[in-house]
A and B are shown apart, each in its own frame.
Chain A
């Protein structure tokens, strides 16, 4: 798999010189940074031998809430002046943490499969987004004209290489990755998460509070979706009901490619980062080669299937 990816990348780099320009590389890094938090959130759920398909819509909800509080000429809350981005961030994250809490409670207390639970929260969240967008006099229109303080907080240049700016959110992604690394590897909670993922009964017997761990993992994932939505709103600068659509597919694919196994209990932060980066490198490259964007969905789906087969094989061979 990695060999094929490497060959594709080398082929593209030779065929389209613009692909290896500094601007294009910075573009790939920035896009990777914007997709990283959601993948880190989903990664935790996959370690629990579950998944989370409400992630994309949660990102959308966070983006819509953040935009609605910082927009000039507010139509959702007529007369509301743009608020401080910090308040918008708080509101967005609070909403997505609630989604995480609901997911966690249903998965841990009622022993429902995460697929079912997050499928329903995905739909519920979408409904909430649509109703929210209809509030006031907005009538479902795209939200744009976000306040300067919000936009500059996310997209202001961190530093500049060859006249191409590296935006602030790259720094945020690096910080979040570091924090998640510490949580996964250095805290009791992180160790409990891996214990529950690899064997729930054994974890329960050895005194781990299984349901609290599951709920915490989903809330942590919700927190990451909130941040992704907050960053994405300012990055794209216009938010509508379809913001965040299919993000969960990319995030889950990135995790599986990065070696976070669906068997549960295994996975590394570095793997998630590599997975997100690899996907971005491939898809930016295919874009440079003018491959039909509709075909990219088929390619993405196949990559997930092949990655799963490789994941299963790894597990069986080890056994």
Chain B
């Protein structure tokens, strides 16, 4: 009986129809998959970080920032643009929603400069 369960068996129905595989092979696949999964998660945590991109929309360039979850955004010096006055950073390109000064980083975000 024990020996029999190690033989490859074929699925007769369902999405796996026609798949012929044995329990030991599956065990190896599961363990390998879990190892890769854990490795990826560890890699993700150790290299993790979100990027805050500042789009100055034609003004002087502003460097992006790397931040961890929950970090406050460190606002850079105001960019400059000839003939315009800097009004602040917004969450959308149309400057409908202005960014909050105490905003925290929760994912990759891009903020846009507003000019007048």
Show the binding face of A for B, using Cβ within 8 Å: 1, 4, 8, 16, 18, 49-51, 199, 261-264, 286-293, 295-296, 298-299, 302-303, 305-306, 309-310, 312-313, 315-317, 319
Contact = CB atoms under 8 A, between A and B. Distances in A.
Given A302-B33, A313-B30, 13 more contacts: A51-B15, A262-B16, A263-B13, A264-B13, A264-B15, A290-B50, A291-B48, A292-B47, A293-B108, A299-B41, A313-B27, A316-B21, A316-B23
A264 B14 contact: yes
A292 B23 contact: no
A10 B87 CA distance: 44
B34 A306 contact: yes
In the A-B complex, the 10 residue pairs with the smallest Cβ-Cβ separation, listed nearest first, are A291-B44, A290-B48, A306-B33, A263-B14, A262-B15, A49-B14, A264-B14, A313-B26, A290-B69, A290-B68
Interface in B12-56: 13-16, 19, 21-23, 26-27, 29-30, 33-34, 36-38, 40-41, 43-45, 47-50
Given A199-B13, A263-B11, A299 B40 contact: yes
Interface of B: 5, 9, 11, 13-16, 19, 21-23, 26-27, 29-30, 33-34, 36-38, 40-41, 43-45, 47-50, 67-70, 106-108
Contacts of B36: 302
Given A18-B70, A262-B16, A319-B9, A286 B41 contact: yes
A317 B37 contact: no
B110 to A, nearest CB: 14
A118 to B, nearest CB: 13
Contacts of B69: 16, 287-290
Contacts of A290: 45, 48-50, 67-69
Contact of A299 (B15, B29, B37, B107): B37
Nearest to B26: A313
**Which of A292, A302, A317, A319 counts the most chain B CB atoms within 10 A?**
A292
A291 B41 contact: yes
A148 B19 CA distance: 53
Nearest to A113: B15
Nearest to A197: B14
B70 A263 contact: no
